[in-house]
Amino acid sequence: MLRDEKNGDSTTYVSLNAAGVACVLAVSSDTGARIVHWGADTGARTPAELQQLDLSVAPPLATNGVDERVIASILPEGRTGWTGAPGIAGHRLDGGAWTPYLVPTALRVDERADGTTVIVDAADLENGLAVRLDVEMDAAGVMRLRAELTNTGETPYALDALELALPVPTLADDILDFAGRWANERTPQRQDFVVGSHVREGRHGRTGADAATVLSVGARDFSFDSGEIWSMHVGFSGNHRVAAERTFDGTRLLRGGELLLPGEIVLAAGESYESPWVYAVHGVGLDAVAARFHTHLRARAAHPTSARPVVMNVWEAVYFNHDLDEITQLADLAAEAGVERFVLDDGWFGARRDDTAGLGDWVIADDVWGDGRFGRLVDHVNGLGMEFGLWFEPEMVNLDSDLARAHPEWLLQAPGRIPVPARNQQVLDLTHPGAYAHVRDQISALVRGYGIGFIKWDHNRDLVDAGSTRTGRAGVHAQTLAVYRLLAELRETFPALEIESCSSGGARVDLGILQHTDRVWASDCIDAHERQQIQRWTAQLIPLELIGSHVGEERAHTTGRRLDLSFRAASAVFGHFGIEWDLRTASADELAELREWVAFYKNMRPLLHTGTLVRRDLEDGALWMQGVVSPELDRAIFAISLRDRPATWPAGSVRLPGLDATRTYRVSAAGPGALRTVDPRIVPAWWTEGLVLSGASLAAAGVQIPALQPDHTALLLVDEVRA
């Protein structure tokens, strides 16, 4: 313990350090738990060094504020003179206890080989509140924080917000986050970090296609490979809030947590509320930040370790037109192409012949799949050596369904009215024990009865007027936790079952849902031109092996754009590869080329799904480069795609970063058809024979690529030349 000579208060310092990142915590009774420094490792370790670091960054009293230094804690409190957003917002039902004064009572530090955890307990005896704060840093340098608030008083406490804050330095001048909509998720947007609050609220009851996803602030014009960056992600699949706040005195914070609806959390005596994990990552360049997130996810015990199977989903091939003979033909063509997982999408159950009926009735449709036809399809798919997968939308219900007619009280709704319909459906309240058991048991019966190995778990509407008929209160918080419980129970019952998070495409992509699922469907848009942007920025948070990425038809269903198979397939390779295409309409040449791409993906997936992602914008953003470098730095694959018509053409040399400068590598054209038709007018001199260069040369001088036309990709494979 160290003593603050100014006020006689004791201050304890703790430094969490990993992978070149440090977070220095100071815990004292006057300021609670606060962050002295979060960023590059300073090397300070001893109590004396940490105290000196604290003194070095303490602000002077230079503003027209209170007469003591105001330093925002992890849960900022108004009683200190802080006039920004508070960490805890709430009150007793009589209006009391609205301004907490939390005093730390205990501090525990757990240092392990895989990281460090600091737990701070604090209490406000006068207002009857207690807080437990968890701060973790793993071996990748990823921090995550959460808080648990307990009502230790005798009367109910209404909680409006519990949000955690992390300071960032004044050099953080730029903000980057994401906008989006259906079929155009994770569209980047940048702006200045001006005075005030840049607040991103998700009120969809799910993560949302327009979610900020990762909120990053950093040095002016930071890019993929340059500029110091601080990023935050709220790992929750319901309503949430993340913000970048800059106050009048120069303080800059990132803060985030769950967005609670009015009256949603009212704690009785002894009850607690636990916030979702808030993730915080520091790095130099966006690629470094992404690499930390990826390393963190890959270190999880439940992270998929088997080769990510080639998927075929039949949605865009047949939609609701289910027929055993036709889908059997698709399965035969899929197997010939090398598909390893065959997924039957919407339309197999109840009265589900279109999107107006049947949701909630998870039983085989007799008119389509009765008389054993469903079982015959499953057996046929398995007999071809493929795993069988099935689409569900377990959280939703059509009013035209046996379930809704039997249990209207199982629908989330505000008193006296049914929510506005969306895609002709409503939301099933999974906090009702009967509704929960209904969904669990019907899914379980099918998984067990047919040996289903994969579920595409969809979620196609926002939670509007989402109240519980049991409590009368807003129900998004409880619904989200119930979904997590259901997913966890199914995975415990069926350990081999894999689940994909789909939500109108990519509207539920977050680290909360990924604690319970094995991949995400990044978007319903399979147009490879659009998908390149969607996948590029989805990968800012999650690694390629968790991003479902399919080859669609020549003419994209969502945009009408026509693209060559080589571009569509090369784009899909950088993810968890699959096919969403009526292969009965493909030519013999297309089927042959598709087989080559499937084989290429299978050969590349050990590299793609374990390596480090690198990205660059070239030619004023018209040329995109993305690559994956193996952990051993002995192999890499790079995709260089021309997405627009630049002012000059052809493109110049492309540098290939991330390799070992001291090693020698062979660079060769890669991918099906790369050398099939070589036109000397559009390819560089080295294209057919390859190149041998040092890693330093590849990073500094690069290589000339073919004279690409828009929406075409050149793939390069880089292998170490060993003596």
User: pTM of this prediction?
Assistant: 0.97
Least Cα distance to 521 among 201, 209, 188 occurs for 209
Rounded CA-CA distance 224/232 in Å is 17
Residue 65 is predicted with a pLDDT of 84
DSSP 254-320: EEEEE-PPTTSEEEPTT-EEEPPPEEEEEEESHHHHHHHHHHHHHTSTTS--S----EEE-HHHHTT
* Paired sense of beta strands 10-18 and 2-3, if any: antiparallel
List the end-to-end C-alpha distance of the chain, in Å, as a whole number. Answer: 57
Homologous superfamily assigned to 613-720: Golgi alpha-mannosidase II (2.60.40.1180)
Half-sphere exposure of 213 (CA within 13 A, CB side): 29
Q: Which residues, given as ranges, of the chain have pLDDT below 70?
A: 1-9, 677-678
Q: To which CATH superfamily is domain 71-298 assigned?
A: alpha-galactosidase from lactobacil brevis (2.70.98.60)
The full DSSP string for 41-94 is: -----SHHHHHHHHHHHPPPS-SSS-SS-----SS--GGGT--S--SEEEEETT
Q: What is the pLDDT of residue 9?
A: 61
CB 611 within 8 A of CB 542: no
Query: So what's the pLDDT on residue 677?
Result: 62
Q: Is residue 494 helix, strand or coil?
A: coil
Cα(673)–Cα(684) distance, rounded to whole angstroms? 16
Q: What's the rounded Cα separation, in Å, for the pair 206 and 480? A: 8
Alpha-carbon distance values, 615 to 221, 288, 639, 641 (Å): 16, 11, 10, 11
Domain locations along the chain: 71-298, 613-720
Give the strand pairing for 612-618 and 623-629. Answer: antiparallel
pLDDT on residue 4: 39
Of 625, 681, 634, 629, nearest to 654 by C-alpha is 625
> Quick check: 463 and 206 in contact, CB under 8 A?
yes
417-452 residue pLDDT tens: 999 999 999 999 999 999 999 999 999 999 999 999
Residue 716 burial (CB count, 10 A):
24
Q: Cβ distance 347 to 368 under 8 Å?
A: yes
For residue 274, which of 470, 158, 134 has the smallest C-alpha distance? 134
Question: 543 near 294, Cβ under 8 Å?
Answer: yes
pLDDT at 678: 64
CA distance 594 to 586: 10
| C-alpha to C-alpha distance for 648 and 654, rounded to whole angstroms | 15
CA dist., res. 302 & res. 130, Å (int): 33
Active-site residues, by number, are: 458, 524
